[in-house]
């Protein structure tokens, strides 16, 4: 079966590899939101700000809930699948046999088994913004009119530190494999200054894979401006800055002073970020002990999660790690319309290793109680196995694993029916997830932002904080 998320592209959404690598140019940095903290509104504090930072692991493609955290061992074979269940540290609760490390640490986490919405397509738009209105196909690709991401909203309300990027996304943007920017993680109508810094990756592979026969991607995330853009040195950036200052002096005399000042601040921050050592040092994983690198997994996904921890230590507020590596998705994904169980045998040990490495690492460094970690995808998978030994799209029921700042330990929320098709109780919407994150970061989940026409929009899109999972 042809992969569902390799659909015909919009003509203005296609990005060539050359164009992507050119994103490191200074002219693009200011507009692409390299850590801009500009135009921030007043922070709205809800009094529940237990989290200082967020690490979001986006399992791009839609992970199977029924083969991981919502096992149905008594269901018919065409429903329950091939995997066995094993006991976890939560009494009476079992998970997939290929997640033994997570199972042994679930007493430190909260698991939601009933995430439910109607967006049956491959983008993280609903999960990252909380918005589930309109048509999922209309909201497939990133547009300036999109609702802003959680990270963009928090930055807009004044969170973060000066001269420190607010949101870093690794190892690539969702859709990088096809050169298409999927909607969700951007500033939308709040402006490009609220877009994340997006790293680049060029992993190596031991052999040639295919869409349903993945090969482990090996490599680290890197800033596009260094190593990816030939000839872009610190000296050249400084030269560009001096030239830009001269151009700004002219534009201030003939243009709108407010707009000129606005752009100048964005350019200054872009320059400061590139010439400071913070982000680049955090991405230098050779500074970590080899044993710790092995513990996370010496592959692109494990390296990205290790870099996420280092970025949090460096003061970055929001870090997203996408299960995305380019190479036409031959390095793994979660869209398993075929070979579901073979691909899960590939993916789950990687996920099991890196997530528990992060959990242990945050505890050891005293960051566990101030860092909220979220592991989820844009949907679940169909209860019934298809004719290609795969599972298809199923947004009606999915999972979200959370641990760290402000959430209960050893808690499971929600029950699905006998086939893991629909929630029986406690359905959780993307808006509810976003509202919970806002609340834990000290943002009023009922606050509003205004679009380009000045229309107010509730940041949680009708969602409410999930009080039952809060510590």
Report the C-alpha gap between 150 and 124 in whole angstroms. 12
Q: Are residues 156 and 247 in the same domain?
A: no
CATH number, domain of 126, equals 3.40.720
Q: Which residues pair with 373 in a beta bridge?
A: 55, 403
Confirm whether 144 is domain-assigned: yes
Q: Are strands 398-404 and 109-115 parallel, antiparallel or unpaired?
A: antiparallel
Q: Could you tell me which of 46, 65, 42, 54 has the C-alpha nearest to residue 464? A: 46
Domain enclosing residue 256, as ranges: 226-282
pLDDT less than 70: residues of the chain: 1-48, 224-277
Residue whose C-alpha is closest to residue 177's, from 2, 30, 6: 6
| Residues forming beta bridges with residue 57, ordered by sequence position | 321, 375
Answer yes or no: is 430 within a domain: yes
Say if 7 falls within a structural domain.
no
The whole-number pLDDT of residue 277 equals 67
Q: Say if residue 361 is in the same domain as residue 429.
A: yes
Q: What is the pLDDT of residue 328?
A: 76
Return d(Cα 2, Cα 345) in angstroms, integer: 21
Is residue 18, in this structure, part of any structural domain at all? no
From 282, 308, 328, the end of a domain falls on 282
Residue 1 resides in a domain: no
- Residues 231, 206: one domain? no
Alpha-carbon distances of 368 from 54, 110, 283, 409, rounded to whole Å: 11, 14, 21, 12
Same domain, yes or no, for 236 and 320?
no
Residue 12 is assigned to a structural domain of this protein: no
Tally of domains within the chain:
2
Whole-model pTM: value is 0.85
Whether residues 107 and 241 share a domain: the answer is no
- Cis previous bond, 307, omega within 30: no
Residues 277 and 295 in one domain: no
The string of DSSP letters for 194-253 reads GSPEE-B---B-SS--BTTB----B---B-TTSSSSTT--HHHHHHHHHHHHHHHHHHHH
- In this structure, is residue 29 part of a structural domain? no
Query: What is the per-residue pLDDT across 355-393, written as a single tens digit (0 to 9) for each?
Result: 999 999 999 999 999 999 999 999 999 999 999 999 999
């Amino acid at each position: 079966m042809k992969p569902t998320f390799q659909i015909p592209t919009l003509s203005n959404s296609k990005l060539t590899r050359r164009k992507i690598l050119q994103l490191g140019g200074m002219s693009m940095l200011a507009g692409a939101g390299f850590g801009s903290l500009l135009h921030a509104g007043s922070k709205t504090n809800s009094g529940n700000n237990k989290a200082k930072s967020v690490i979001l692991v986006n399992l791009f493609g839609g992970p199977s809930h029924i083969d991981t955290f919502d096992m149905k061992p008594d269901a018919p074979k065409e429903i329950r699948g091939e995997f066995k269940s094993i006991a976890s540290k939560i009494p009476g609760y079992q998970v997939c046999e290929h997640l033994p490390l997570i199972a042994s640490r679930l007493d430190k986490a909260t698991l939601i088994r009933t995430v439910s919405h109607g967006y049956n397509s491959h983008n993280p738009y609903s999960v990252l913004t909380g918005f589930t209105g309109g048509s999922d196909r209309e909201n497939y690709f990133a547009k300036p009119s999109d609702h802003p991401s959680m990270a963009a909203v928090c930055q807009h309300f004044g969170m973060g530190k000066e001269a420190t990027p607010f949101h870093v996304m690794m190892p690539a943007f969702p859709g990088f494999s096809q050169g298409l920017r999927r909607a969700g993680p951007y500033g939308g109508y709040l402006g490009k200054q609220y877009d994340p810094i997006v790293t680049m990756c060029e992993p190596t592979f031991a052999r040639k894979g295919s869409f349903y026969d993945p090969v482990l991607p090996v490599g680290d995330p890197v800033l596009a401006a260094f190593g990816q853009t030939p000839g872009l040195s610190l000296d050249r950036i400084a030269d560009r800055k001096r030239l830009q200052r001269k151009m700004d002096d002219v534009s201030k005399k003939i243009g709108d002073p407010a707009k000129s000042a606005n752009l100048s601040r964005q350019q200054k921050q872009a320059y400061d970020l590139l010439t400071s050592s913070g982000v680049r040092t955090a991405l230098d994983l050779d500074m970590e002990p080899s044993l710790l690198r092995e513990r996370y997994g010496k592959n692109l996904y494990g390296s990205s999660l290790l870099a996420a921890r280092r970025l949090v230590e460096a003061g970055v507020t929001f870090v997203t790690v996408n299960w995305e590596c380019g190479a036409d998705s031959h390095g793994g994904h979660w869209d398993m319309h075929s070979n579901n169980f073979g691909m899960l045998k590939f993916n789950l040990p990687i996920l099991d290793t890196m997530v528990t490495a992060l959990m242990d690492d945050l505890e050891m460094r005293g960051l566990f109680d101030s860092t909220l970690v979220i592991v989820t995808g844009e949907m679940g998978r169909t209860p019934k196995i298809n004719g290609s030994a795969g599972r298809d799209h199923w947004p009606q029921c999915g999972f979200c694993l959370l641990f760290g700042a402000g959430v209960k330990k050893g808690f499971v929320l929600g029950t699905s029916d006998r086939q893991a098709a629909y929630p029986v109780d406690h359905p959780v919407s993307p808006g509810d997830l976003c509202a919970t994150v806002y609340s834990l970061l000290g943002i009023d989940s009922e606050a509003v932002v205004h679009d380009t026409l000045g229309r107010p929009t509730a940041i949680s899109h009708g969602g409410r904080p999930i009080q039952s999972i809060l510590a």
